[in-house]
Structure 1
């Protein structure tokens, strides 16, 4: 009888330890779901993208709650701006000022981010950006989808 109770308790313990991490993750999507989402050509919503970037920056840079809120609002604004620019680009609005607008938007974003982060955090952020650029160069100028980077020369 004691053996049966011990085996039952042990099996509940093992089952609980394997189920607990899955339950703790809650509503987060599995890697397969995210990959399937990307394969269908769907984009995550601006809110999802902002939340993901904020979470990653919070872990990497050690943001406090106030900074995380400000960063998330900044990334949400940036994601919405990028979506608007992307739709303009797809509609054929590709005049000479388009690139200047994109660069100005990027510069504003960096200035706002710099005002939110402290000097140490911003230095680490810049270091990570440089590392990503180096990785990009190592891959031969290919972006995440395996496409070659477009030439910036005017022909």
Structure 2
């Protein structure tokens, strides 16, 4: 891959230099050297590479390094509540279903947590979430569902 990048990179540099030379007349080329054109192209590539590295270093999907979250409720509040609300009733205006009164087994909840919902909804996948954390969330959901509010 590095060879392909280097090859395409040098072709790109050559095209840039050819374009610059084509756009300049003979008088403006007197002070320019071909070597300086290459330096400009190399510095630009280095700058773009550094910017990409900085921007992409902040991108991380699904990090699970939070030892302070130990209970199912804490894990639910961190991972699930932004969409399903703290009480598990869901946000119906956005199409997020409730997850507190679920008939799913603990294993099925763990599976949905790892694989996403798979039913054309926007439930994200938490592949790197340890099974232990997913199980704590599932058990908390079952407890949350058993605490139904009494009818008036």
| TM-score bracket relative to the smaller structure | 0.3 to 0.5
More helix by share: 1
TM-score of the aligned structures, taking structure 1 as reference length: 0.32
TM-score of the aligned structures, taking structure 2 as reference length: 0.32
Higher relative contact order by CA 8 Å / sep ≥ 6: 1 or 2? 2
Which of the two has higher C-alpha Rg?
Answer: 2
